[in-house]
Amino acid sequence: MTDDVKSARDMTLVVTGASGRTGSRVARSAEAAGLTVRAASRATGFDWEDRSTWADTLRGADAAYLAHPADVGAPGTAEAVGELAGVALGLGVRRLVLLSARGEDQALPTEEALRASGADWTVVRAAWFAQNFSEGPLLDEMLRGELVFPAGEVSEPFVDVRDIAEVVVAAVTGGERYAGRTLTVTGPRLLTWREAVAEIAAATGRALAYRSVPVQDYGEALVGFGVPPEEAAFLTGVFATLLDGRNAHVEDGVRQVLGREPRDFGDFVAEGAAAGTWAV
């Protein structure tokens, strides 16, 4: 057993959003690597919006995974991440890994807040999650038989959240190797949203459709569904940038960090279909 492995097995990792899409996988991956995981969510007494809860969660830990419940570029997120980093450093928690979004201009102030904190930081910029098709609001649409989304025919290398989690854990346990670096993770191939839905349809035998709508129309629909107008306006701004074609290329962050190719979208679909994810 190497010294690096021994030190990893002695580490305590705070996982914010531990019940969420990425946090739950980060927690499982960290536990599999031998780390002690300290789940940080409202259920465990941690609240991003209540700074008085931060110190008790961070005290005595060695590292933290930061996944803000709002979008990484949402108003106030940069300030929260910067302040939490300051609290962490004051308690001796220097190793901080932030989940960010590839190609999202609105996320840059949050990334900069972490870099400016003085922490031993790593930013993990992720492509669109494959699991967005199997968890959360898009799943509801898939179950109804039609995904309505403002992606046009742009291509995206959908990334499996399990790969994100393994990259995060590698960044936490990798010592100085990944400190001060931005890691960009994607899946291995490009798919349009229409092609992604078609793969799910083929695997499930269901008649699933994809319908593209203009970003502005999508924002108005969100308001109609009860999303606050300011949040809908922010989301339409994010989609207008993320879905303009800037992300229509594959990057090799997963291979660089993990030494293997990222999981394919087809494998994700096959597993989900076998589990009945899209069954009605």
What pTM value is reported for the model?
A: 0.94
Q: CB neighbours of 28 closer than 8 A, spacing ≥ 6? A: 165
Q: What is d(CA 41, CA 38) in angstroms, rounded to the nearest whole number?
A: 10
Domain count, the chain: 1
232 is a domain residue: no
Q: Is residue 110 part of a domain?
A: yes
76: left (phi over 0), alpha (psi -120 to 50) or beta: left
- Mean pLDDT for the stretch of residues 101-110: 97
Domain carrying residue 175: 3-127+159-186+248-263
pLDDT at 2 over 60: no
The CA-atom distances, in angstroms, between 269 and each of 27, 141, 264 are: 23, 16, 9
**What CATH number does the domain containing 51 carry?**
3.40.50.720
Q: Using CA atoms, how far apart are residues 97 and 120, in angstroms rounded to an integer?
A: 8
Phi, psi of 160 (to 5 degrees): -75, 130
- Indicate whether 99 belongs to any domain: yes
The answer to whether position 166 is within a domain reads yes
Q: What is the pLDDT of residues 179-235, one digit of tens each?
A: 999 999 999 999 999 999 999 999 999 999 999 999 999 999 889 889 899 999 999
| Domain-located, residue 174 | yes
Q: Does 114 fall in a domain? A: yes
Count of alpha carbons within 13 Å of 97, Cβ hemisphere only? 32
What contacts 232, CB < 8 A, 6 or more positions away?
219, 220, 222, 223
19 in a domain, yes or no? yes
CA nearest to 8, candidates 37, 33, 38: 33
